[in-house]
């Protein structure tokens, strides 16, 4: 059983959405009535030229390229009544993706939005209400953070979150691989790679999630609206007809006196989607198939398992495994239908650099046979399509070193190696080098 009294808790291992650490009653912080936080993140990446037997309409360009992204977010929170928290986040983004954001299953910059351009764009990222009904038990401290008011919560509670937010704010909240602003950058390390979660082209949606916490256990379920068209910005508001549903079971535990968390997630999407087999059957001889020509009402189902485990005060490991049925087009996230990932993070206190962190991870992404046949016939998806296909699983290695620049800023160096980009053994491998500057207050 996970208990604050008998576990050496690594505070950095707990979910970022809670940022909570166990505390004695006398250590609990005062309840914040309101707060305001800001963040800014700049990511620059470059890749050298690499070998490619051929190029297609959605290939990663084989010549040298650079790209960048910039985001700045303000987060305002307040308590309108007992148990309630209201948050609003205005945000601005700007960027230039490499290869027009094409040519990879696991994209290399999790801060790179599908709609970013050279002109700064301002919009509302989040506007949501969180209502908590406390049912008793030990209290846990909650630190002041973006979209989080300082205070404490009971071990047994029900939480309802509704409004405009990201589904990944609530689900698959792995503390070691979840935030491209401070952790790994690759898309396949931000969430379950095969989880085609509801989101517009910026990564946000509208909907609601209900959570129940009871000591070591938590269960949550949510429904969110999907984009009106594949990977588009506009959302389809018909939430009872087109939607993304997910349910997750979470258990926190202690292993050899160290904190850990296991999560199991299942999802089901319902939209007008094109099927790969339908597109192949409908294509005229000599003409590349297109999922856009065969869209109809259909569902997509998948699941994922996640583990994070502290190995002491300054080390932790994590792993994810996910898959979806892979019979229809990618609708909102990455062109991944099978994904395995694992990694380790070490805090710099081990070598006398308290503010530093190093992370190393490996990913293996795959596609179903239906999707492979579609690409081999010249089909193109939202992000990939080389015109032909010599299928091999896409393999990614990523390492970063984050240097703390005082309490509120960090500079990270990042390296990613991608073998078989877009699952094509006839192209690559490719190396991507990155620099990230992040500040938060």
- Segment 235-270, tens digit of pLDDT: 999 999 999 999 999 999 999 999 999 999 999 999
Of 58, 60, 57, 35, nearest to 45 by C-alpha is 60
Of 427, 217, 440, 193, nearest to 333 by C-alpha is 193
Question: Whole-angstrom Cα distance, residue 173 to residue 179?
Answer: 9
Query: Long-range contacts made by residues 178-181, C-beta under 8 angstroms, separation at least 24?
Result: 178/16, 179/16, 180/41, 180/43, 180/109, 180/110, 180/111, 181/39, 181/41, 181/71, 181/111, 181/436, 181/438, 181/440
Question: Whole-angstrom Cα distance, residue 50 to residue 424?
Answer: 13
Which residues are CB-neighbours of 102 under 8 A, at least 6 positions away?
58, 59, 60, 383, 384, 385
Which residues are CB-neighbours of 81 under 8 A, at least 6 positions away?
none
- Segment 183-216, tens digit of pLDDT: 999 999 999 999 999 999 999 999 999 999 999 9
Residue 4 binned pLDDT confidence (cut-offs 50, 70, 90): very low
Supply 253's token pair. Answer: 């535990």
Mean pLDDT over the full length of the chain: 93
User: Which pLDDT belongs to residue 2?
Assistant: 38
- Segment 220-230, tens digit of pLDDT: 999 999 999 99
* Residue 147 placed within a domain: yes
Looking at residue 342, the DSSP 8-state letter turns out to be E
User: Which pLDDT belongs to residue 29?
Assistant: 84
Looking at residue 278, the DSSP 8-state letter turns out to be H
* Residue 394 placed within a domain: yes
Average pLDDT rounded to a whole number, residues 316-336: 96
Supply 287's token pair. Answer: 């003409």
Helix or strand (DSSP H, E) at 396: strand 394-404
Number of domains in the chain: 1
User: Which pLDDT belongs to residue 15?
Assistant: 42
- 3-class DSSP assignment, residue 328: strand
Model's pTM, two decimal places?
0.92
Of 97, 320, 108, nearest to 194 by C-alpha is 320
User: Which pLDDT belongs to residue 26?
Assistant: 54
Q: For residue 203, give the CATH number of its domain.
A: 2.40.160.180
Are 10 and 22 spatial neighbours (Cβ–Cβ below 8 Å)?
no
Question: Whole-angstrom Cα distance, residue 394 to residue 106?
Answer: 8
User: Which pLDDT belongs to residue 1?
Assistant: 40
* Residue 319: domain span: 11-440
* Residue 208 placed within a domain: yes
- Segment 128-147, tens digit of pLDDT: 999 999 999 999 999 999 99
* Residue 5 placed within a domain: no
- Segment 261-288, tens digit of pLDDT: 999 999 999 999 999 999 999 999 999 9
Average pLDDT rounded to a whole number, residues 62-71: 97
- Segment 94-104, tens digit of pLDDT: 999 999 999 99
Question: Whole-angstrom Cα distance, residue 205 to residue 404?
Answer: 32
Are 327 and 194 spatial neighbours (Cβ–Cβ below 8 Å)?
no
Which residues are CB-neighbours of 7 under 8 A, at least 6 positions away?
22, 254, 257, 258, 259
* Residue 432 placed within a domain: yes
Q: How far is CA 26 from CA 23, 155, 360, in A?
A: 8, 17, 38
* Residue 145 placed within a domain: yes
User: Which pLDDT belongs to residue 360?
Assistant: 98
Count other Cβ atoms within 10 Å, centred on residue 349.
Answer: 13
* Residue 4 placed within a domain: no
Question: Whole-angstrom Cα distance, residue 29 to residue 18?
Answer: 14
| Residue 441: pLDDT over 80 | yes
User: Which pLDDT belongs to residue 51?
Assistant: 97
* Residue 364 placed within a domain: yes
| Residue 73: pLDDT over 70 | yes
């Amino acid at each position: 059983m996970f208990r604050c009294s008998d576990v050496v808790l690594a505070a950095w291992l707990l979910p970022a959405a809670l940022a909570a650490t166990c505390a004695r009653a006398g250590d609990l912080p005062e309840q914040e009535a309101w707060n305001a936080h800001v963040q800014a993140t700049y990511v620059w990446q470059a890749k050298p030229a690499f070998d490619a037997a051929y190029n297609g309409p959605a290939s990663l360009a084989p010549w040298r390229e650079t790209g960048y992204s910039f985001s700045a977010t303000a987060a305002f929170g307040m308590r309108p009544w007992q148990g309630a928290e209201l948050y609003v986040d205005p945000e601005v983004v700007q960027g230039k993706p490499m290869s027009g954001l094409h040519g990879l299953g696991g994209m290399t910059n999790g801060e790179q939005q599908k709609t970013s351009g050279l002109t700064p764009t301002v919009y509302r990222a989040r506007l949501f209400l969180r209502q908590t009904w406390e049912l008793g038990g030990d209290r846990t401290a909650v630190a002041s953070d973006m979209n989080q008011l300082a205070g404490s919560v009971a071990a047994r509670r029900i939480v309802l979150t509704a409004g405009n937010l990201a589904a990944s704010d609530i689900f698959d909240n792995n503390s070691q691989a979840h935030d491209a602003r401070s952790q790994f950058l690759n898309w396949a390390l931000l969430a379950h790679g095969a989880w085609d979660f509801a989101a517009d082209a910026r990564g946000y949606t509208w909907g609601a999630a209900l959570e129940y916490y009871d000591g070591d256990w938590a269960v949550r379920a949510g429904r969110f609206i999907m984009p009106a068209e594949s990977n588009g910005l506009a959302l389809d508001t018909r939430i009872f007809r087109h939607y993304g549903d997910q349910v997750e079971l979470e258990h926190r535990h202690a292993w050899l006196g160290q904190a850990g968390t296991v999560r199991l997630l299942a999802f089901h999407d319902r939209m007008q989607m094109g099927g790969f087999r339908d597109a192949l059957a409908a294509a005229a001889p000599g003409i590349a198939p297109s999922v856009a020509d065969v869209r109809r009402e259909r569902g997509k189902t998948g699941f994922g398992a996640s583990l994070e485990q502290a190995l002491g005060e300054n080390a932790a490991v994590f792993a994810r495994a996910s898959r979806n049925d892979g019979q229809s087009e990618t609708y909102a996230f990455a062109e991944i239908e099978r994904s395995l990932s694992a990694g380790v993070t070490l805090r710099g206190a081990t070598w006398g650099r308290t503010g530093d962190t190093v992370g190393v991870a490996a990913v293996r992404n795959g596609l179903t046979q239906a999707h492979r046949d579609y690409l081999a016939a010249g089909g193109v998806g939202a992000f990939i399509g080389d015109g032909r296909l010599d299928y091999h699983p896409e393999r990614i290695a990523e390492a970063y070193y984050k240097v703390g620049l005082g309490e509120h800023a960090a500079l990270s160096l990042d390296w990613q190696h991608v073998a078989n980009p877009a699952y094509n053994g006839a192209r690559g491998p490719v190396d991507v080098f990155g620099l990230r500057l992040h500040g938060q207050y």
